[in-house]
A and B are shown apart, each in its own frame.
Chain A
């Protein structure tokens, strides 16, 4: 079995075998990050460009560390989205960057489909590091890696994704990845934050958190974007937190040893209570460290194609 993709644009475009292969490839790189000298020569002489048109610390740092630990040359470019829209097109920006003989372009953009469109026009491998509300495939892969590590597998698990699914690329990628790998996915949130026809993606939709949490093995809480209150998606942070916040009491409804996950950054006391965030169930920091290993694995697989 080999990896045949030039780009990683979405989980939707990957087969279950592809996902399994990426998770497997990540495994040895986890060990590398634990060494005193955290470096392997796999990408020596390759150039990785992080193009982040949206602010990000966590994801950008994770990609940067992953590439550096693989011995690639890494640069970070953070053009402002507005200047791109007004003058130079995204495509021109990318073509300019690519003219400097890059191998991997890691792209984050506020527009859904930005990575998909771009990949058609460049030779370099494109990794989607988040495009609008569409997908954030490496986040889902690192979530799967973490679940597999803690639970020994993914197939048959009950997973609840809680919060603002409509505006979440993390939710879309995770729904696709988890269902692809045989987990049973439930989503929970207010009807204003559940996009239409979501059940058609193979999930069960709940509007009451207690019901959704009953017996689940994994809970993925989504970050609440606080500015959505002003746009009538929910009445107040207070009410959102009361109805959809994950508390220690609610966690009791989940299966024993259930995992609590969050893509970060966490709004403590809103989508997840302080005690839950710091509890033994929470694997939020494991997600972050696994993120580096998964991204190393992924870039390694892509580099094998060049």
Chain B
């Protein structure tokens, strides 16, 4: 089967940026060239998609999602999470191991992969646990997790507080060149905190999480990465201090990549003032100075990747009082327009913004996606960068509704998403769930 996407503006970061047609054969990219439609003969086996006025780019790669299956299927399943992913333009997502049971074994990894295969939407790549049960004590069977298909290891949400355990994990994982991801939070410093520690927490009387809780662990992890030579990936960088330290470490040649989440460059802790638990996530929304630093980090590529930390929670959980509600927000369907805002603000070029969602994350985890190179899987997004829409959580494809962006007008919309050459999402007509 052959598919031709015509008349689009193709952005294949580092490879092509301009009008071109994309030829797909048997689910793989065959060619990206201008005016292919004039050269190819019409035939019954050739399907055409007209992408006039649209940007055509590789499907987005999200290094950080929580799909809650197994264990918390009332928040999200692999099927609903994948549906939200492709609706947001993500064709590959890496799911964190904090399920129940924790993904610290081949059997859980294989279960996730099997569930993902059934949904036939986004590619779901599991991240294995660093330690058994993510308890931070003994290493999980990292070698077997790798063989089973895990693309990285992390005890996400449960920072590995013991520095010796982290050292050993980094050393051990380097045998498989597996990236090690550590949620950087000194849990003694953050203690019972539920929002950024600063003027707003003082006014609201909410327990704070200081920037130092993140900075201390970023410093430790950078020191250990430099020492062990391991591949370190820092998720959801939220503080000016983290950005500064990563910049410095990269300049010294430390093998580190870093990601920022759209909420950390779009909102500050002012969003907590109404005590809306949909503005509660970890790391928390910080201050203007931190937002500026994160944007600077994205601009100078200290921060390589935009990732969502898509963290669904049920409506009733987010109705608990702020301090007892769970951390996290959904993000797959709002990541594109929030990232495009950085283009509008002059922080990134359009090609750079696309790269942060495609080629850069793929490179960080050594994945064969996020590119339109001939021979690679035909995972693509067709998007309209100028289309406006209003965020209505009830319309989300996620099982959960926890977004702080409800009611926001967003600019930039996914029109079509293809995985392996098959259309897995189309914006119109939007099916009510």
Contacts and interface: CB of A to CB of B under 8 A. Distances in A.
Interface of A: 12, 85, 89-91, 109, 111-114, 116-117, 131-135, 169, 172, 195-198, 200-201
A197 B199 contact: yes
Interface in B148-206: 197-199, 201-206
B397 interface: no
Given A117-B275, A132-B205, A134-B206, 17 more contacts: A12-B203, A85-B324, A89-B316, A90-B319, A90-B321, A91-B319, A111-B321, A111-B323, A112-B275, A117-B322, A131-B205, A132-B206, A132-B323, A134-B205, A196-B208, A200-B199, A200-B202
Interface of B: 197-199, 201-208, 274-275, 316, 319-324
Contact of B203 (A85, A117, A201): A201
Nearest to A117: B275
B198 A114 contact: no
12 contacts: A12-B203, A109-B321, A111-B323, A112-B275, A113-B322, A132-B206, A132-B323, A133-B205, A135-B205, A169-B205, A195-B201, A196-B202
A169 B201 CA distance: 13
B197 to A, nearest CB: 6
Interface-central residue, A113, A133, A197, by most chain B CB under 10 Å:
A113
B202 A197 contact: yes
Contacts of B316: 89
Main secondary structure of the interface of B (DSSP, over half): loop
B320 A85 contact: yes
Contact of B202 (A111, A114, A117, A201): A201
B288 to A, nearest CB: 13
Contacts of A12: 203
A111 B324 contact: yes
B275 A116 contact: yes
Contacts of B201: 195-196
A112 B204 contact: yes
A89 B324 contact: no
A241 to B, nearest CB: 25
Contacts of B319: 89-91
Nearest to B207: A133
Contacts of A197: 198-199, 202
A84 to B, nearest CB: 9
A200 B274 CA distance: 20
Contacts of A198: 202
Contacts of A200: 199, 202
Contact of B205 (A85, A91, A172, A196): A172
Contacts of B208: 195-196
B124 to A, nearest CB: 32
A113 B206 contact: yes
B198 A113 contact: no
A13 B62 CA distance: 42
B205 A89 contact: no
B204 A113 contact: yes
B201 to A, nearest CB: 7
Nearest to A112: B205
B324 A134 contact: no
Interface-central residue, B199, B201, B202, by most chain A CB under 10 Å:
B202
Nearest to B200: A197
A268 B204 CA distance: 30
A90 B197 CA distance: 26
Nearest to A200: B199
Contact of B204 (A91, A134, A196): A134
